[in-house]
Amino acid sequence: MLPFVNNTGLYTDHYELTMAQGYFLSGRHEKKACFDYFFRKAPFGGSFVVFAGLSSVLQMIENFSYTKNDCNYLESVGFDSRFVEYLQSFSFRGNIHSVKEGELIFPNEPALRVEGSILETQLVETLVLNMLNFESLIATKACRIRQAAGNEVLLEFGLRRAQGLGGINASRAAIIGGFDKTSNVFSARHFGLESSGTMAHSWIQSFSDELEAFRAYANHFPDSCTLLVDTYNTLKSGVPNAITIARELREKGHQLVGIRLDSGDLTYLSKKARAMLDEAGFQEVKIVASNQLDETIIQSLRSEGAPIDVFGVGTSIATGQDDAALDGVYKLSFYDGKPSIKVSENLSKMTLPGIKTIDRFVDGENRFCADGISLGHETGYNEIFHPTEAGKRKNVTSCHKENLIHQVMRDGNCIEKEQAPGDIAAFTKSRLQQLPEEHKRFLNPHVYKVGISKELLETRNDLAKQYLKKDSF
């Protein structure tokens, strides 16, 4: 269960409330509407996004309401008393359909659909975007780091560098993307994660010498002892003193778990440290590395043969470097019984109208080959069309079709069983195995095919012509 989720009605932008008040005062607030969540460009130069944050969204929407104090505040800043009175008994009563959390999604796919009155679907916009954009960004970054790290252990160390309370959800998203543990005790408690940590340089500096600091720590934590070896001199002091402690632990029936390198040339130091540990008879002692790591650095370390067993990643994972945000948007696609469209002279910025679904086409070798977006009432289609380049199409007759969209909230009540982040991570891993390698490259990945059905294509084009004709000179 997420912390801080009670009475989340004020977790929104001011203009959502002004529009809601406008709908209410004009008597349009009960008109039925549908909004789609999608993004236009994958972050980090990649081709896909790991969809995360669904559980967070559902929990917060279930609690989307206004206390008496909330209502008093809204009236004090100028909202109409009739609208404020309406909000006193407000709760979300709509429906939500979505892809599974942990699913791989691609640009322009309506991964989540919110249905209900225009007022309630408008009010939850900011919340939906805030949670899905952030957690999906971090889960995608974590997935890339997992790809670089192979099967080695990944520790998330990012809380101290995160954007305030965003660090709470960042830890959850990192696990979904493939990390093993977090240093964040708060998130570990609330999301059922495994927390882990060693020591800081200050621990060692607080003692008269390094060996004394190591010995004291080992006495307190004889079965979970990892020693930070770079406070003074990694190879001349830190590693030799760690070997001394390893011998003392072994004599007492315990085992040194590892040493941690937090500065310097990690490839050089890890190789030297590994040789020293092995020569002393401590082949089982792990080497942990940290200090501004990301997928590129980890990939480089592994290509250079650095014998690192555990990578601790902080800033880059918790903040989603080098992309500050995922550009997910929330657009109206259906209103008062009719499909709705946002028109643009730039076809790539034109939205897809109507209530839609997503099908994933899988080939005979169980690999993803394309996704199709269609109107929800369509029973079948054999071709998908490029949404912006006329004439491009793909026949999908020979592929197996898997529908990705399912209902997760009905009448304001969550019907999706909450999953542990580790279980979501296992699902993400299985989906990555089905994604062809050319789409997983860090540099210039192959574009994954996402097409639309012929009926959806024609519906969009017909609506666009109507509105563009109205606006012509």
CB–CB of 261/292 below 8 Å? no
CB–CB of 118/23 below 8 Å? yes
Asked if residue 147 and residue 128 are part of one domain, the reply reads: no
Per-residue pLDDT band for 2 (boundaries 50, 70, 90) equals low
- 473 found inside a domain: no
Give 293-344 pLDDT, tens digit per residue.
999 999 999 999 999 999 999 999 999 999 989 999 999 999 999 999 998 8
- Strands 258-261 and 383-385, by their bridges, are unpaired
Domain extent at residue 32: 14-139+332-467
Asked if residue 368 and residue 259 are part of one domain, the reply reads: no
Mean pLDDT over 375-382 rounds to 90
Residue 29's pLDDT is: 98
**pLDDT over threshold 90, residue 401:** yes
CB–CB of 402/381 below 8 Å? no
Whole-angstrom distance, CA of residue 426 vs CA of residue 92: 31
Asked if residue 148 and residue 120 are part of one domain, the reply reads: no
In this structure, how many other beta carbons lie within 10 angstroms of the beta carbon of residue 268? 13
Asked if residue 157 and residue 301 are part of one domain, the reply reads: yes
Distance of CA 51 to the CA centre of its chain: 6
**C-alpha distance from residue 233 to each of 127, 244, 316, 470 (Å):** 49, 15, 27, 74
Give 80-121 pLDDT, tens digit per residue.
999 999 999 999 999 999 999 999 999 999 999 999 999 999
Task: For residue 246, give the CATH number of its domain.
Answer: 3.20.20.70
Per-residue pLDDT band for 345 (boundaries 50, 70, 90) equals confident
Q: How many CA atoms lie within 13 A of 249 on its CB side?
A: 27
Residue 396's pLDDT is: 94
Q: Which residues of 362-373 are buried (b: 16+ CB within 10 A; e: fewer)?
A: beeeeebbbbbb
Residue 4's pLDDT is: 60
**pLDDT over threshold 50, residue 128:** yes
Asked if residue 167 and residue 74 are part of one domain, the reply reads: no
Question: pTM of the prediction?
Answer: 0.96
Whole-angstrom distance, CA of residue 41 vs CA of residue 140: 13
- Strands 383-385 and 368-375, by their bridges, are unpaired
Percent of the chain with pLDDT over 70: 98
Whole-angstrom distance, CA of residue 426 vs CA of residue 345: 42
Asked if residue 292 and residue 183 are part of one domain, the reply reads: yes
Task: For residue 117, give the CATH number of its domain.
Answer: 3.20.140.10
Residue 259's pLDDT is: 98
Phi-psi bin for 121: left (phi > 0), alpha (psi -120 to 50), beta? alpha
Residue 25's pLDDT is: 98
Residue 391's pLDDT is: 87
Residue 346's pLDDT is: 80
- 72 found inside a domain: yes
Mean pLDDT over 421-427 rounds to 98
Whole-angstrom distance, CA of residue 144 vs CA of residue 211: 38
**pLDDT over threshold 90, residue 468:** no
Query: Mean of the per-residue pLDDT values for the chain?
Result: 95
- 176 found inside a domain: yes
Sign of CA dihedral 438, 442, 443, 447: positive
Residue 473's pLDDT is: 43
Phi, psi of 7 (to 5 degrees): 50, 65
Give 15-71 pLDDT, tens digit per residue.
999 999 999 999 999 999 999 999 999 999 999 999 999 999 999 999 999 999 999
Host H or E run for residue 434: helix 421-434
- 472 found inside a domain: no
Asked if residue 226 and residue 308 are part of one domain, the reply reads: yes
Asked if residue 309 and residue 184 are part of one domain, the reply reads: yes
Number of structural domains found in the chain = 2
